[in-house]
C-alpha cells in the first residue's frame, strides 16, 4: 500500500517530498510532463482516458477540437512517444489507450495521495 | 475521502479517467505541467520539496547544478509563476516552498491514487 511505483525501466517514483529526484529520473519524468504541458494534448489524453472502454480513435476525438486531423495526429504522436498513450491499428483506425502506469508514476512523484494527508 | 480536489480558483480535479477535462481546465493544468516539463525545474522542485522543513533558498539549491545563479533563478521564477512554489524573502535570501495544493491537483487529475482503486 505504499505510494511507491516501479515501472519496467526501473525508475522509481517515491513522492519527491521524501527524497529529491536524481538527474536521470528528472530527465525521464520531465519529458512526460512536457508532453502534458499543452492544452490540446492534455485534453486529448483526458478524452481517451474517459472514453468508453478506455480507448478512442481519432474519429472519436477530432470533434472536440477545431483542429485539422494532421494536427491532432501530431499531438497524439507526442503523447505516444512520451509513453502516455499506446496506439493499436485495427482496420481503418488506430485506437489509443492511456498507459496508466505512466500516469501513476507521475502522480506518485508529485506526492502522497490526498487521502494520505500528513498534515499535523 | 474522495480523490476530488478543489482549489481556490474553482477548478476541480477529478481523475480524468472519470470525465474529460474542459478546455479551460486543460489550459490551466497544462501550464503547470509545462513548468514541470524541464529536467532542471523538476529537480529544483524535488529538491525544495525534500529539503529540511520543506523550504530552500537558492543557496541550498545551486550546488546541485552546473548552472549560473541567474539561470537557476529563472527556473525558480517559472515554477513560481506556474503556482508550483512560493517564495518569501527573509533577509538576504528568498525561501521557496512547494505549494502542495498545486501538486495534489495535478496528481488527482492524473487518476486515482494507487491505494484508492475504484475498480468495480
Flag whether B10 is in a domain: no
pLDDT at A15: 78
Residues 6 or more apart from A39 whose CB is under 8 A from it?
B23, B26, B27, B30
The upper half-sphere exposure of residue B11, i.e. CA atoms within 13 Å in the direction of its Cβ, equals 19
Q: What is the pLDDT of residues B23-80, one digit of tens each?
A: 999 999 999 999 999 999 999 999 999 998 999 999 999 999 999 999 999 999 999 9
Flag whether A32 is in a domain: no
Number of domains in chain A: 1
Residues of chain A contacting B29 with CB distance shorter than 8 Å = 42
Q: Is the complex ipTM more than 0.90?
A: no
pLDDT at A18: 78
Give the Cα separation of B67 and B109 in Å (integer): 33
Nearest CA of chain A to the CA of B89: how many Å? 22
pLDDT at B13: 63
Q: What is the pLDDT of residues B90-101, one digit of tens each?
A: 999 999 999 999
Q: Closest partner residue to B26 among A29, A42, A106, by Cβ?
A: A42
Flag whether A29 is in a domain: no
All three cell numbers of A35, joined, read 508532453
Each residue's pLDDT, cut to its tens digit, for chain A (120 residues) gives 344 444 444 455 677 877 899 999 999 999 999 999 999 999 999 999 999 899 999 999 999 999 999 999 999 999 999 999 999 999 999 999 999 999 999 999 997 644 434 443
Assign residue B86 a region: left if phi > 0, alpha if psi is -120 to 50, beta otherwise? beta
pLDDT at B119: 42
Closest CA to B28 of A111, A91, A46, A61: A46
State the DSSP string of B69-120.
HHHHHHHHHHHHHTTSEEEEEETTEEEEEE-HHHHHHHHHHT---TTS----
- Domain span at B67: 38-110
Q: Domain with B68 in it: what CATH number?
A: 1.10.10.10
Flag whether B9 is in a domain: no
Flag whether A118 is in a domain: no
CB contact under 8 A, B21 and A33: no
> Whole-prediction pTM value?
0.84
Flag whether B43 is in a domain: yes
Amino acid at each position: 500500500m505504499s505510494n511507491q511505483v516501479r515501472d519496467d525501466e526501473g525508475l522509481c517514483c517515491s513522492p519527491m517530498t521524501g527524497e529529491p529526484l536524481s538527474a536521470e529520473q528528472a530527465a525521464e519524468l520531465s519529458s512526460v510532463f512536457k508532453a502534458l504541458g499543452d492544452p490540446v494534448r492534455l485534453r486529448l489524453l483526458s478524452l481517451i482516458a474517459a472514453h468508453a472502454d478506455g480507448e478512442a480513435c481519432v474519429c472519436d476525438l477530432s470533434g472536440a477540437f477545431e483542429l485539422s486531423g494532421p494536427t491532432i495526429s501530431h499531438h497524439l504522436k507526442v503523447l505516444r512517444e512520451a509513453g502516455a498513450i499506446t496506439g493499436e491499428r485495427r482496420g481503418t483506425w488506430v485506437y489509443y489507450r492511456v498507459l496508466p502506469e505512466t500516469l501513476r508514476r507521475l502522480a506518485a512523484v508529485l506526492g502522497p495521495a490526498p487521502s494520505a494527508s500528513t498534515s499535523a
